[in-house]
Amino acid sequence: MGGNKDQTYPWLKSYPENVDWHAELAVRSMPDLFDTAVALYHDNPCTRFLGKAMSYGEMGDLTERVAAGLQANGLKRGDKIGLLLPNCPFFIAFYHAALKLGCVVVNFNPLYTVEELEHQVRDSETVVMVSLDLKILFDKVEALIAGETLKQAIICPFADMLPFVKGLLFKIVKRGDIASPETSSVASSLIEYESILDSGSDYTAAKIDPENDVAVLQYTGGTTGTPKGAMLTHANLTANVHQVTLWFPDAVDGKERMLAVLPFFHVFAMTGIMNYGLSRGFELVLMARFDLEDAIKLIRRTRPTILPGVPTLFNALMNHPKVTSEDLKSLRYCISGGAPLPLEIRTGFENLASCQLVEGYGLSETSPVATTNPPGGLVKENSIGQPVPQTIISIRDLEDPTREMPLGEDGEVCIFGPQVMKGYWNNEEATKSTFTGKYFRTGDVGHFDEDGFIYLVDRIKDIIICSGFNVYPRRIEDAIYEFPAVDEVTVIGVPDEYRGEAPKAFVKLKPGMTASAEELLAFLKPKLSPIEMPDHFEFRDELPKTMVGKLSKKELRGEEDAGTPAG
C-alpha cells in the first residue's frame, strides 16, 4: 500500500497505491547487489551485444577474473579507474570489478576531445584508463599518456566481444578502424587485456562501507561551467536502484528485456539501465553507439519490453515513416529522462506504441532518479511526477533558499534523500554552495500542484530576462512543439538592445514539411504573451545534441556569443 496514512507531504495524497513511500531502503554495497544478481540469475541471459550473448554466470566469472587482474597489477582501494568505453560487456565487467576492490569508477564520455579528457583525468586523479583498441578511442588514450596526463591504460580487444566468425571478419574488414597498441610509442604504459585475465582467479575483496565509500565519480555535463565530479557512494547507487525497483513493481524479475541505447557513462543509463537491469535479472541488449536505423532493427529483432530513452529518441521513432505499432508491440514500459518531455511527443508516441511513456527526473548529483510519473497510475500533463520513495522535494525561494515556498508557487527544486551525493570531489566550496541545509539545490525552477505532482518551469540559468521579466524557454518550446510541422525546437536568450534579452527559437521541421517565421508567429500569438514571443526564428536541418541525444543549448549559445554565421 502507498503511504496515504501520512499527509505531511503533498505527494502522499495521491501516491501510487502499490508503492510505499515510507519503504525501508537497505544499505548495501554495489558488489553485494551485483553478486546477488549473478547468484539468482546465473543461467539467464545478461547481455546481448552485436549478436553475442553472455549469461549472468559468464559475466560474473569475467568480472571475478578482471578484479583479480586489476589487483595483480597494483590497483587498490581508493584508486580511480577511468572507463572510456561505449556500451559493451567490458564496461559492465570492469565497472563491477573495480568496485569489488574498493576502487572508484570515473566515467568518461568517449566523444570528449583530448583537452576535455585531460581536465577530467587530472581533476579525478585517474590512475588507469580502460578503453578499446578502436582507433577512435585509442588515439585519445595514447595522447593522454604521451602528454603525461595519464600513467597507464588497459586496452581491450573489440573483436573479443563479437561472435567468433564476426570477430574474424571484423579484424579483416575493419582493419583500418583498429589501432596497434603493441607498436605505439606509449606501449610500455599499456597493460595487456590478456595479462589481466591470466593473472589468476584469487583476489582480496575490499570491505566496503556503503554510506561513506565513494563508488563513482560522475562528472556533471559542464553546460554551466567547468565539470565537477559528483561523489556517489555505494549506498547512493544501491538506494536509487531500490527506489526504481519499488516504483516499477509489475516488472518481472529475470524476465524483462531492456534496450540499452543510452550510454552507460551517463548517469541515467548507469543506474536506470545497467545497475537496475542487472539487479532484477533483465537481459540487456547493448548498443555501442546510437543509430536510429540500427535501433529500429534491434527493436524488431530482439523485442525489448523496456525502453529507457531521451525525448529525441521517442520523437524520432514516432516520426519515422517505417516504424509501425507492430514494431513497438513488445514494449511494456518506456521511460523518458535526461531532458523535459514535451506533451506532443508523449501523446504521439503513446498513440503509436500503445505503451505508457513515463517521464522521470533527476541529476548526476542524485544518482540520478528523484521523481517519476507513476506507471499505470495518474499522469498529469507536463509533470515530472512525484518523489520516489524516501525522497523529499522542497520548493525554495529563488532569492532566499532557506525559505520554503507555499504550495503552487514557483521556486528552486531542492532534494533530500538517500540517493543524494556525498558532495563534489575536491571542491568544498561548490559543495557548500549547492546545499541549503540538508537539501541539494538543483538549479531548476518548479512548483507542486495540490496532489503533490511537480512541474518544472525551467533551469535557473536558462531563464531569459526580458525587460526585467523572467521568461522561461521551456514554455515557449512547448508552445512551438504544438505546431504540426515542427520536429525539434530549442529556445535561448540573445542580446536585445531594447529588452536586454529576447527569446530566439532554433527550429527543425519534419521531413517534407514547410513553415515560415510568420506562420509560427501567427500560431503562437494566442498561446504566448508578447514578452514571451520569440524575436527570431532560425530554421536548421539539424539541432545540436549531447552524446545522450538530448537537445543542447550550449553550442547555440556559443555561436551567438561568437557571432558565428547561422546555418
| pLDDT attached to residue 166 | 67
Of 152-161, 274-283, 543-552, the least confident: 543-552
For 273, residues 6+ apart whose C-beta sits below 8 A from its C-beta are 258, 260, 262, 264, 284, 308
Among 396, 411, 547, 566, which residue's Cα sits nearest to residue 492? Answer: 566
Reading the block at residue 104, the C-alpha cell is 572508484
Average model confidence (pLDDT) across the chain: 92
Confidence of residue 395 (pLDDT cuts 50, 70, 90): very high
> Using the 8-state DSSP alphabet, how is residue 282 labeled?
P
User: pLDDT for 73-91, tens place per residue?
Assistant: 999 999 999 999 999 999 9
User: pLDDT for 162-221, tens place per residue?
Assistant: 887 566 666 655 767 889 999 999 999 999 999 999 987 789 999 999 999 999 999 985
SS3 state of residue 552: coil
d(CA 144, CA 115) in angstroms, rounded, equals 9
Over residues 364-384, the mean pLDDT reads 92
Say if residue 225's pLDDT is above 60: no
| pLDDT attached to residue 82 | 98
267, amino acid identity: V
| pLDDT attached to residue 463 | 82
> Using the 8-state DSSP alphabet, how is residue 231 labeled?
E
Confidence of residue 224 (pLDDT cuts 50, 70, 90): very low
Run of H or E residues at 507: strand 500-509
β 214-219/104-107 pair status: parallel
d(CA 315, CA 318) in angstroms, rounded, equals 5
Reading the block at residue 458, the C-alpha cell is 525551467
Say if residue 234's pLDDT is above 80: yes
Confidence of residue 536 (pLDDT cuts 50, 70, 90): very high
| pLDDT attached to residue 169 | 63
Share of the chain above pLDDT 90, in %: 77
| pLDDT attached to residue 457 | 87
For 5, residues 6+ apart whose C-beta sits below 8 A from its C-beta are none
| pLDDT attached to residue 167 | 64
d(CA 2, CA 190) in angstroms, rounded, equals 53
Say if residue 4's pLDDT is above 50: no
Better-scored residue on pLDDT, 435 or 466: 435
Q: SS3 breakdown of the chain: % helix, strand, coil, rounded to 5?
A: 35, 25, 40
Over residues 134-147, the mean pLDDT reads 96
Say if residue 354's pLDDT is above 90: no
Say if residue 365's pLDDT is above 60: yes
| pLDDT attached to residue 566 | 43
Confidence of residue 5 (pLDDT cuts 50, 70, 90): very low
* Domains defined along the chain, listed by start: 55-207 (3.40.50.980), 463-562 (3.30.300.30)
| pLDDT attached to residue 227 | 83
| pLDDT attached to residue 223 | 39
Share of the chain above pLDDT 70, in %: 95
Backbone phi and psi for residue 309, each to the nearest 5 degrees, phi listed first: -165, -175
Of 152-166, 197-211, 280-294, 531-545, the least confident: 152-166
Reading the block at residue 30, the C-alpha cell is 554495489
d(CA 254, CA 268) in angstroms, rounded, equals 21
Q: Spell 125-147 as b/e; 16+ CB within 10 A means b.
A: ebbbbbbbbbeebbebbbbbbee
484, amino acid identity: P
Confidence of residue 1 (pLDDT cuts 50, 70, 90): very low
User: pLDDT for 399-414, tens place per residue?
Assistant: 999 999 999 999 999 9
Over residues 329-346, the mean pLDDT reads 90
Three-state SS sequence of 70-119: HHHCCCCCCCEEEECCCCCHHHHHHHHHHHHCCCEEEECCCCCCHHHHHH
| pLDDT attached to residue 208 | 98
User: pLDDT for 491-507, tens place per residue?
Assistant: 999 988 777 789 999 99
What distances in angstroms separate CA 439 from CA 217, 404, 415, 442, one per listed residue? 20, 11, 5, 9
β 357-362/333-336 pair status: parallel
β partners of residue 126: 80
Confidence of residue 158 (pLDDT cuts 50, 70, 90): very high
For 75, residues 6+ apart whose C-beta sits below 8 A from its C-beta are 81, 98, 101, 103, 127, 128
| pLDDT attached to residue 174 | 72
Give ∠ CA 421-427-428 in degrees, rounded to 5.
Answer: 80
d(CA 556, CA 509) in angstroms, rounded, equals 17
Cβ proximity of 108 and 122 under 8 Å: no
